[in-house]
Amino acid sequence: MKVFVDGQYGTTGLKIHERLVQRNDVELLSINEEHKKDPHIRIQFMNEADVVFLCLPDQAAREAVTLITNPHTRIIDSSTAFRTDDAWVYGLPELSNVQKGAIANANRVSVPGCHATAFALAIRPLVQCGMLPRDYPISCHSLTGYSGGGRALIERYESDSTTESIDRFNRTQHYSLNLDHKHLPEMQKFTDLAFQPVFLPTVCNFYNGMVVTVPVVTRLLPNQPSLQNIHTALTDYYQGEAFVKVIHPEATKGMSQSNLDPTLCNGTNNAEIFVLGNDDQVLIACRLDNLGKGSSGAAVQNMNLMLGIEEGLGLTRRNNKT
């Protein structure tokens, strides 16, 4: 099986390459350093490959798709360009009980954003079962490592050594203060919400890892479900999933702040969901590696499904004792 990673030197591309290079069922097509700017070789590899990963900015991804004329080449795109495009399949296998089949049969798959992945895993089951109304005024907060900002932000954190910059980067930085983050359209569409959430992301001074939190006031919900009701709904929805785990309530009682460390899923394709708080106010938290389940891990998981092989091949699972 021939695979080409277009944009292999970017953050996501490097991680995909790292995950695939150890596999003996994959032949990675790589452009030599001296030819990396040769458009003819790039187009040749894109049409020779069985699977192409696009790890490019949005506009570059749109342009790249037009260069692939081989009808048998299957594309997995990591940008936001096609996530809400109905001609593409949304690459979150755990989204519903039919999503894996849709991905397996697709020629075009869009990898979800990291924030959107965690948000959808946290609340879609509750919307689907009617526990959370579609028009609930939902808010969401995300703590994430700076690698999510791509090469430019990584360089700002790791290259700027002035005292002023070090002091600034050691503090958390809220962004998208106009409440217009580019993940919002997919966050709404794939949770089936009537309106977009109020979403505030925060970048922190660690490389990768993230926790997305969603507060819910139960008195505003139909039948005022308890914390246990919410936990049960999530547990039932993800029963049997290899990479999504709902943490048992007994494990969260008296949980210290270090147990919700955003980095504890790093290096894996896992997503962990916590149901915290009490029967009046519930906090649903989802932890994952923004470079794992939030990007390259999800991309490889999608490829495995598209090729009809075990979905976890080449992906790391780690049992967390939390």
Q: Which residue has the higher pLDDT, 30 or 236?
A: 236
Residues 94 and 193 in one domain: no
Of 114, 140, 204, 265, which residue is the catalytic one? 114
Residues 164 and 248 in one domain: yes
pLDDT in tens, 269-285: 999 999 999 999 999 99
3-state secondary structure of 195: coil
Share of residues in the chain with pLDDT > 90 (%): 80
Report how far residue 147's alpha carbon sits from residue 209's, in angstroms, rounded to the nearest whole number. 9
Is 61 within a domain?
A: yes
Report how far residue 293's alpha carbon sits from residue 196's, in angstroms, rounded to the nearest whole number. 23
Q: Which of 38-42, 125-129, 155-159 has the lowest mean pLDDT?
A: 155-159
What domain range is 190 assigned to?
114-290
Residues 258 and 125 in one domain: yes
| pLDDT above 50 (res 223) | yes
Q: Can you tell me the mean pLDDT for 106-130?
A: 98
CATH number for the domain harbouring residue 20:
3.40.50.720
Residues 86 and 131 in one domain: no
| Confidence at residue 322, expressed as pLDDT on a 0 to 100 scale | 36
Residues 134 and 269 in one domain: yes
Share of residues in the chain with pLDDT > 70 (%): 95
pLDDT bracket for residue 262 (50, 70, 90)? very high
Is 316 within a domain?
A: no
| Confidence at residue 319, expressed as pLDDT on a 0 to 100 scale | 45
Judge whether 114 counts as a catalytic residue: yes
Q: Considering its fold, how many domains does the chain have in total?
A: 2
Residues 135 and 254 in one domain: yes
Residues 6+ apart with CB under 8 A from 77: 53, 54, 61, 65, 88, 108, 109, 110, 111
- Mean pLDDT rounded to a whole number for the chain: 92
Residues 95 and 62 in one domain: yes
pLDDT bracket for residue 149 (50, 70, 90)? confident
pLDDT in tens, 64-106: 999 999 999 999 999 999 999 999 999 999 999 999 999 999 9
| Confidence at residue 168, expressed as pLDDT on a 0 to 100 scale | 60
Token couple for 46: 């894109």
Residues 55 and 171 in one domain: no
Residues 78 and 163 in one domain: no
Residues 144 and 200 in one domain: yes
CATH number for the domain harbouring residue 175:
3.30.360.10
Is 75 within a domain?
A: yes
pLDDT in tens, 156-173: 777 766 555 555 666 788
- The label of the residue with tokens 């922190």 reads 204
